[in-house]
Structure 1
Amino acid sequence: MQERAKRTRLKILDGALAVIAHEGLAGVTHRAVAEAGGVSLAATTRHFATKEDLVAALSERLREDYLGNFHALEARLQSGAAPGVRSLEDLALKVARNALTTGRDRALVWCELMLQGGRSAEGRHEARTWYTRIDEVWETIGRALPLSPNGMSAAMAVDLTVGLQVLLHPLRASRDDLSRLFKGECDALSLAAQPSARVSGDAPGPDATPGQIVEATISLLVREGPQGVSYRAVAEAAHLSRSAPAYHFASRDALLETAQAALFRRAKARYRTALRAFDLSEGDLAHLGDLTSAVFFGEAMLHHEENLAFYALWVRAAENPALRPAVTGALADQQRAWAATLRRARGSQPPARAPLFMEALFVGKLIRAIAAGREIGLMAHARAHFDAIARRP
């Protein structure tokens, strides 16, 4: 009977993983999980009294599976059975490629859980536990790799991996395309869809009501994530009639897309202000490291709540076609900006993969900071890491 209960529990957790991967945390109900896991509703409620219990158990299972896989990799490395991994950068790209293809569902769920965790003290504690364990196992593996002692640190490699996953999930690229991208045989712009007319995020017109609705949506995204956004919740937050959001926005997806565009506009304005605040006349890599670190600290310390909302929608775009054009358009815009900045700092055309790696490291560090807490000890290494990635061939 005990073995049967264990199998049922695993089926329930598999069902929860499928629901979160495809619908986000908003889709998690006992009934939906039971259907996805192929078990009875009674079994689901018997094993997990609340949605929170279910999500916590899934997070623990993902962490233990992840660590188990890495301990197995460590054993293969020590026996010489993993010849394709010679450095932590090799490992980072291998893990990112797998997360974006065969391990897509698990990676999406991990991103969802980390971003949701950043909204509470308990969630941040769980995220810190995740990162502590991940850093430890990557450090152990790094010591067994021939090229890692003079290459990336474990934390830098982990942040690069996370950033690549978050940025590239909405592209839904093939394994072959990702391999070409990571080798520098193409750039991210060639894989991103052309931005639609709405990607830039037109600001609300003279009627103030749409603006109120968008601001209320953003406040809900900050506090609860995409699962907290409904017409009714937005109307209450905006102090409007229940019919107002539906009148101005044809669907919930249209409302989320407009909120995403507004968040992107704000971030873009902040980055431009930061650029004007620094003297980049010399255009060298040292200035770029200073600039990137300053922008990172500002985003992590002053705008962490908006970034939680922004990247939660970004991750959801991986499974929501309505959100994808805005996200891929934003990625293309950002990649052009990083390419231009790197070209100026290096004094020559940067390698094709350099803009992607710079943005991925930035986003990965930002996800760590806003999900696990803004620990000065970890953030203090950002300047050296940004400088190192900017100088890589």
Structure 2
Amino acid sequence: MQAFLAGAVLLVCLSAPLIGGVQQPRLRTKRLTPEYSGGAPFAVGFGSWVMWVLVFPVVRVGFTGTRNTWICVALLVLCVLVARPMVRMVAPARLKGSRLLVAARAVGLCCVLAGVMALLDAGVGRQPMAGMTVVYATAAAVLGLMRAVDHGYFPLVLLWSALQKALLAVATGYWIDHTGGTLVPDPDDATAGALLLAVLWWSTVGLSAGCAVAAAVRLVPWLRTGPPARPAPPGVKSWPPAVGDVWTAELTHDDNNYKERPVLVLEHTPGFVRVLGITSVDKSGRRHGYLKLHLSEWEGVLKKDGWLNLEIAHIPYCDFLWRHGECPDRVWNLLCTKADVRERRAKVGPAPGFTFHHRLRSAMNKHVGHDARKVRADAGSRVRQPWTRERV
């Protein structure tokens, strides 16, 4: 009974990453809903059964003789065709159209499954249900790691997820050992149940270790230079912000207050984006530093007349929220030829939002400072309700 409960807990842990993105966007009311696929565990479960049916004869027959070799090759090709939709299911929308990447991942998944089945052939070959569950556990761990790599943008959030899985693995491992089980059974002598429980445990450990490695690889450059452009922050579809596009972003000021503002994308760098901010505050008295934007020309992009700040600002990739549209050609040509676009004024220290504690907090999906939407009212304070925007 204890072994059954431990196996159920491990199965739930392996299945959870297949259902949805591992991270939430910073502002849930402003970005799109993260990608969810509630039917993924069932689809992977069915695909695992089919893959076990295809891989098991390959492991048993082997590449012995010309006829057997062709049979095994045909079965492996069919296995890749079954693995492809599973890999595509857990991939983000921006990668679903990359046929070569999806095919390469499907081949890798089949190779891992074939290797595990070859190692456990003697134990799981006697019981089809055990063999299918072993294939499911391995496939869920590999696909869950793929999803974590694709969706795990904030490294400290991903590291915390890896730590939770590691703690679960430690607890279940102690439970299994305390009840007389073993985590390294002999495939030739162990029962199918013991092999199954061991594979579930090692799959959870592998998933946890893979998430931790991915988090560490992303955390080091994040803390050194800032959030990367890849993968895309959770909750955005159109990515990365194209040059000439208008986006809403969290623009941080020197006093650490930040506010959502439309910005015009000028240039990408490895750690941030150079933009021009747009404001609706009248700047007619400072025409040398601002460019008037007429609503008639920006229809569908802006909601009212605005002013374009000609001083370049730097914004981390993680602070972009959603896309509005494209800059009109006339304004873009004016910026490239005649407008007095200038660099940010030299000041002591890095640009706002780029000090170490800014980068550290952003790696946790947090923000240093105060939201400028918060305003004082009499003795207390109130927060202006953020409006939602469904379209991107």
Q: What TM-score comes out, normalization by structure 1 length?
A: 0.23
Higher fraction of helix: 1
Which structure has the higher relative contact order (CA within 8 Å, separation 6+)?
1
Structure with larger Rg: 2
